[in-house]
Amino acid sequence: MRKIALSIIYVLVGTLAFGQKHANNPQQLSFRTVVDLTHALSNANPPYEETAEPLFRTKTVATIKRNHYFAREICLPEHFGTHLDAPAHFAQGKWTVDQIPPERLIAPLVVIDVSKKADRSPDYQISTDDISTWEKTNGQIPSASVVIANTGWAAHWNSVKEYRNADAKGTMHFPGYSLAAAKLLVEGRHVYALGIDTLSIDYGPSADYPVHQYTLSHSLYHLENVANLNHVPAHGATVISAPIKLAGGSGSPVRIFALVP
């Protein structure tokens, strides 16, 4: 991380982050720190489902010594590592990755810390009480924001076994959102997206993914396997999510930045 004083992007942010209606009167955004909320992609990343072959594969096709340049081919699933779920992932006819309006990918960032509760209960589900507690301290969650839960689960990232936390029957155990909390954020706060530092917005034991079904059908997108949430404040930062613009994609690896004022 490095301190940055940047104003040259104000036209972009004024147009995208604050909506098209502000395009003729852009607002300048200043910040001092950029926090990368992304895990580096590699075959060591914990997968949602275990497979015999690595899900992330690379092939070197050119080297400096042989070709005077370096290049690789890569192969990976849409939903791998730090990634974005498009609405079409669970809702037929909704936006695919390339159809998500770009102004929704730059937004105020809200971080709800439930790490102490998740530490006591791996199957913890973020509740409406957690949202109420956050708002008592920070004010109401603004509309058109991106809400990301800091469960502390990123501490297990370097251990596939601990991050997946599967029991003897193969059921995984990690925190997620409750459906009630998701409904409050969608219907009561009108947020653009939900994020979390685990493999899924739904908690590990979920078999039917009710939060995915509900939120994606309401045209939200998800950010999963988010990193470095301990380095951003509860509110005040701006998040930029930049997925690969995959035509027809159900999801995509994503680079996420938090601009901290």
Q: Is 83 annotated as catalytic?
A: no
CA distances in angstroms from 161 to 7, 44, 138, listed in the order given? 44, 11, 36
Amino acid, res. 164: R
Structure tokens at 250: 């159900």
Contact 148, 223 (CB under 8 A): yes
Q: Could you write out the DSSP letters of every residue in 131-174?
A: HHHHHHHH-SPPTT-EEEEE-SGGGGTT-HHHHH-B-TTS-B--
Rounded Cα distance, 241 and 213, in Å = 22
Exactly one of 89, 156, 212, 222 is catalytic; name it. Answer: 89
Catalytic residues: 89
